[in-house]
Structure 1
Amino acid sequence: MTLALTFGLLIGVVLGLTGAGGGILAVPALVLGLGWSMTQAAPVALFAVGAAAAVGAIDGLRKGLVRWRAALLMALLGSLFTPLGLYFAHRLPEALLMVLFCAVLVIVAWRMLSQVRGDHGTGIDHGWQQKNCMLDPSTGRLKWTVRCSATLAVVGACCGFLTGLLGVGGGFLLVPAFRQLSDIRLHGIIATSLMVIALVSGMAILGALHAGVRIPAEGFVFIGASIAGMVAGRAVSAKVPAKGLQCGFAGLCVAVAVYLLVHLAAG
């Protein structure tokens, strides 16, 4: 129970700080820390990340940071593609799922480091003219062009598929994609991503429970701790340097991927 509490707190804090890392680290925490299989860990990780993300999304809505129309569109597409991911998750070998998960971890780390190098410490993306989704300067709202709608739909669909396949929340995809494809401020990106994660994860959880998945007591401890960690992470997120946070998170992703592969090879 102590390990479940500790790992849950850490996952919640990371999710609150980044809007991206909770889901992708929740599964390794359960697999390596508690000795669960990927298929056992995935629904508990989704429940924890979804609940924690909901807390963050509510906070973002209260502060007016969530682009809720964009979040609903991505969540709708994500919910449609989550069952497809679940279908493959229950038919692919455990070892293959683990390798795919490690590949995603490395890709996330590479994307994080690429963004840090691209920002050159300014936090400004000078390629803003080419972004698919732009804010209207007069209203502060997204310009709903066909290009923007299609972009958000594709991102949402990919997020949903990976949520079902690997039991991740999808924030690791949403946050970098939002930064690359829109000119929304980072705090708004994180808040919107949290809302999408909460909605997509919620649908995936309902599907898993309907399929007969049961969550053990240890899992509920992990979930509760994740929510508490999310609250703490959101409280200090504005005070943490974004560049240092991204570098640290990228290093952690690579370390976890290597450890998972070593664990898989040894097993």
Structure 2
Amino acid sequence: MFAGIIGFGLLVGAVLGLVGAGGAIIAVPALVYVLGVPVSEAISTSLVMAASSSVAAVVPRLRGGVDWRIAAAVGTAGIPAAFVGTAVNQLLPQHVVLLAFALLMIAAGIQMLRPRPQGPQLPERRPRWVLHAVLVGVGAGFLTGLLGVGGGFVIVPALVLLLGLPIGAAIGTALLITIVNSTAGFLAHASSGSVDWAITLTFAIPAFIASLVAARFATRITGRALQRMFAALVLVVAAITIARTVLAC
């Protein structure tokens, strides 16, 4: 079992390091359906992996690749939202959480298939940017607490479209926000005692290493082809998740 956890940790860490988002979205179904981990523990493990892998992925992007003011605004708004999302998660049956996760995966897969908007070449401080940052933070934070995802696949296009960041800065900023949101979500879930530290560390450490290595190669690989492969993987996993959840009801 632990060999499988290490393998999946390497996979999702590499995806997050290359794409800047999306690695965590395949972690929960993989842990639940392939490795038999309970949903609550899978979400906690996914959040630790998302936070640690994002640390590794953001390191090469710290020099000029992060808008710190936007990251602070979005991250601050996301912290309480992550606790609210966690509270809602604990009220829902397991099959409802998994179906919601599958629908989110479909949305993420479709988003990845669409060309990413390039945005301006230089960051543009748009009117009401603080309001937009708060809205992005609340939405991403809630998803983080509810489903155990970092929300990068939502945050990246939102930073480009609503806040005028170029794609490179949006990826780096989204990774920093993911660290904040995932940490808040994990603390909220940990307060309920749903953490298996053996599984969590076995998954998170390989993911951290893979993300650190992959992030250094991200600029050398054609992002479009990688996005399409990731989208196909996410859509297949979403279909399997829906089928297995419906059959188990």
TM-score by length of 1: 0.87
The reply on whether 1:218 has 2:199 as its aligned counterpart is yes
* Structure 1 unaligned spans of 5+: 117-123, 129-133
Secondary structure in structure 2 of the residue aligned to 1:90: helix
Give, in angstroms, the shift of residue 141 of structure 1: 4.8
Measure, in 2, the Cα distance between the counterparts of 1:259 and 1:33.
11
Which has more radius of gyration?
A: 1
Cα RMSD (Å) of the superposition? 1.8
Secondary structure in structure 2 of the residue aligned to 1:53: helix
Mapping 1:18-167, distance limit 5 Å: 18-61=19-62, 63-115=63-115, 125=118, 140-143=122-125, 145-146=127-128, 148-167=129-148
The reply on whether 1:172 has 2:173 as its aligned counterpart is no
Measure, in 1, the Cα distance between the counterparts of 2:194 and 2:39.
13
Instruction: State the identity %.
Output: 29
* Structure 2 unaligned spans of 5+: none
Secondary structure in structure 2 of the residue aligned to 1:188: helix
Q: Is contact 2:41-2:195 (8 Å) kept?
A: no
1:99-120 CA distance string (max 9 Å, x none)? 111111111111222326xxxx
* Equivalent in the alignment of 1:205: 186
Q: Which shows bigger deviation, 177-186 or 154-163?
A: 177-186
Q: Is contact 2:132-2:163 (8 Å) kept?
A: no
1:77-132 CA distance string (max 9 Å, x none)? 1101111101110011111111111111111111222326xxxxxxx65xx6xxxx
Q: Is contact 1:4-1:219 (8 Å) kept?
A: no
Measure, in 1, the Cα distance between the counterparts of 2:108 and 2:15.
14
Give, in angstroms, the shift of residue 26 of structure 1: 1.3
Q: Is contact 2:53-2:207 (8 Å) kept?
A: yes
Give, in angstroms, the shift of residue 33 of structure 1: 2.1
Q: Is contact 2:123-2:166 (8 Å) kept?
A: no
Aligned length: 247
Give, in angstroms, the shift of residue 191 of structure 1: 0.9
TM-score by length of 2: 0.92
Letter in 1 for 2:19: T
The reply on whether 1:233 has 2:214 as its aligned counterpart is yes
